[in-house]
Structure 1
Amino acid sequence: MFFGVPYDQLAILAVGLLGAGAITGILAGVFGVGGGAVIVPVLYELFGVVGVPVELRMALAVGTSLAIIIPTSIRSFQAHKAKGAVDMDILRAWAVPVVLGVVAGSFMARYAPPAVFKAVFVFVAGLSAWRLLTGKELNFGTGMPGRAGMIASGGVIGVLSSLMGIGGGQLGNLVMMAYGRSIHNAVATSSGLGVLISIPGALGYIYAGWPKAAEFPGVAAIQFPFALGYVSLIGFLLFIPTSMWTAPLGARLAHALPKRKLELSFGIFLLIVCLRFTWDLVTHGLG
């Protein structure tokens, strides 16, 4: 026993996290993403294997994903900012509403049923899948919206990102490109959203899931020192090294494939995840 947890259950969790990190690194390298769009569905399946109840599984996957992307989002933002590619005016306009949206999403996570997390994931990932598979982009005109529009869009990005476990890149890119920004400018500026979302989001999920350890004493994956609230500490520690190790393998594979094939592949991946979570919504309802 280790902190009251059987060694065999701990071993299954540790090996599973290492394997999940390796798989996520390959997928992230192939598809050029490193956020929750890949991490959350992989963690969701793993937590199911090790016996995390369905009512906790999605929130634990989302909270852990937000913690995992903290270091990568900081590094990404620093790199883009050093090259002068970040539009700081947009980032400043979004900063407060995004953080407030994350806080609101984290508060919702404490009380929301699993269906809410899955529905948000299906909506956002489904929209991204549609864009990738059809090759179409939204077009709202040129020039970013005014103050009210920036506040509203920032709040929505914060709420949806915190409930989906992503760094905001997909949503930020979607909005900026819809207003005529180039993909390079959108990606660079969205890297700053990852910092604004992941840090308060992870803290919020620690708060949201804090009471669950006492409610589910037999579930090792949510007990300290393996987790703090809805953030799996063992997941955070084991996921990052293996995903960083395998990401270059995926990147090399990506360079061997045409851009359109990568878009179609990622679109199909997201579509499969959407169908998986939709099946859960149909079969489990709010459970």
Structure 2
Amino acid sequence: MDVNVWWLAYPLLGAAVGFFAGLLGVGGGGIMVPMLTSLFLAQGFPQAQVMHLALGTSMAAIVLTSVSSLRAHHRHGAVRWDVVRLITPGILLGTFGGTFIASRVDTVPLAIFFSLFMAYVSAQMLLNIKPKPSRELPGPVGMSAAGLGIGGFSALVAIGGGSLSVPFMSWCNVKMQNAIGTSAAIGLPIAIAGTVGYLVNGWGAPDMPPLTLGFIYLPALVVVAATSMFFAPLGAKLAHRLPVATLKKVFAGVLVLLSAKMLHSLFG
């Protein structure tokens, strides 16, 4: 297929990622990873590396979108910076360490793990699962342990951590508005640590396509990130006019279908 087709596919992907991020307040990894995996396979990239390239490229793209999201929530006073300070050391260590695990797992098992995690995220959305508040936030040691777990899982599936950190903070009696805003702030260290980790682990990997930096494919990163930042404000504006509860259910179905398509591409 002509190379110009991919320059069309990447901005369309970025538009979808940005729109849903603004509309539903979700990170783009659930869309980016399966779509990039399928696109990379179609471009003839080595199957052994496509999942790692998709994860690394998604993490790098999330850096820019997380900055925008953090600023918006901070302006509304929704970020609990005391929580951010306590959890960030564990987040950085867990995310960076998680990239070392991901880089040593073969593409197919990694894709299966990603798909199962997306099924969990989709179930959260479809059933509107929220843990009952039952306790206070733990101390520094407990917060570091929570950060390790959230960061590690986030690195393995290239997400900003919201599907884990929001339920954790809600369980610890943090108001939902603050849990969402604080999760947006936590997404930045997750994205930075994950990007550095995938860059380091992919450095010098064999049979990599041109224009890669570690496990980051630069053309996809630049185009997807640029278009997603443009479409995120549009999604945010429409969030107050469209039936978001219904759209979340549609989005959950889309995540499952994209993951299934990715698995079909790999096994096919």
Q: Same fold (TM over 0.5)?
A: yes
1:40 counterpart residue number: 33
Gaps of 5+ in 2: none
2:13 counterpart residue number: 20
2:245 counterpart residue number: 260
2:73 counterpart residue number: 80
Name the CA distance, whole Å, in 1 between partners of 2:20 and 2:75. Answer: 27
Alignment of 1:48-67 (within 5 A): 48-67=41-60
CA contact (8 A) 1:58 1:118 kept: yes
What is the aligned counterpart of 1:272 among 230, 254, 257?
Answer: 257
CA contact (8 A) 2:37 2:262 kept: no
CA contact (8 A) 1:28 1:38 kept: no
Name the CA distance, whole Å, in 1 between partners of 2:238 and 2:34. Answer: 22
- Residue type of the partner of 2:214? G
2:106 counterpart residue number: 113
- Residue type of the partner of 2:12? G
CA contact (8 A) 2:52 2:107 kept: yes
Say which is worse superposed, 11-20 or 101-110, in terms of deviation.
11-20
CA contact (8 A) 2:24 2:244 kept: no
Specify the SS of the correspondent of 1:97. helix
Task: Provide closer, same or farther for how the CA distance between residues 174 and 83 of structure 1 changes in structure 2, counting only shifts above 3 A.
Answer: same
What is the Cα deviation at residue 198 of structure 1? 0.9
Name the CA distance, whole Å, in 1 between partners of 2:99 and 2:53. Answer: 12
What is the aligned counterpart of 1:186 among 174, 179, 182?
Answer: 179
Task: Provide closer, same or farther for how the CA distance between residues 24 and 84 of structure 1 changes in structure 2, counting only shifts above 3 A.
Answer: closer
What is the aligned counterpart of 1:131 among 124, 128, 133?
Answer: 124
What is the Cα deviation at residue 37 of structure 1? 1.8
Name the CA distance, whole Å, in 1 between partners of 2:43 and 2:149. Answer: 33
What is the Cα deviation at residue 95 of structure 1? 1.1
Name the CA distance, whole Å, in 1 between partners of 2:116 and 2:175. Answer: 24
- Residue type of the partner of 2:41? G
CA contact (8 A) 1:20 1:46 kept: no
Name the CA distance, whole Å, in 1 between partners of 2:20 and 2:82. Answer: 32
Name the CA distance, whole Å, in 2 between partners of 1:236 and 1:274. Answer: 20
Name the CA distance, whole Å, in 1 between partners of 2:186 and 2:179. Answer: 11
What are the Cα deviations for residues 52-79 of structure 1, in whole angstroms up to 9, with x where unaligned? Answer: 2222111111101111111221232233
Task: Provide closer, same or farther for how the CA distance between residues 72 and 133 of structure 1 changes in structure 2, counting only shifts above 3 A.
Answer: same
Task: Provide closer, same or farther for how the CA distance between residues 108 and 170 of structure 1 changes in structure 2, counting only shifts above 3 A.
Answer: same
CA contact (8 A) 1:128 1:170 kept: yes
Say which is worse superposed, 154-163 or 236-245, in terms of deviation.
236-245
Name the CA distance, whole Å, in 2 between partners of 1:239 and 1:259. Answer: 24
Gaps of 5+ in 1: 1-7
Name the CA distance, whole Å, in 2 between partners of 1:125 and 1:11. Answer: 31
CA contact (8 A) 1:70 1:195 kept: yes
Q: Does 2:159 align with 1:166?
A: yes
CA contact (8 A) 1:80 1:86 kept: yes
TM-score (norm 2): 0.88
CA contact (8 A) 2:52 2:215 kept: yes
Identity of aligned residues (%): 34
What are the Cα deviations for residues 70-123 of structure 1, in whole angstroms up to 9, with x where unaligned? Answer: 122123223333443211221112111111101211212332212343244234
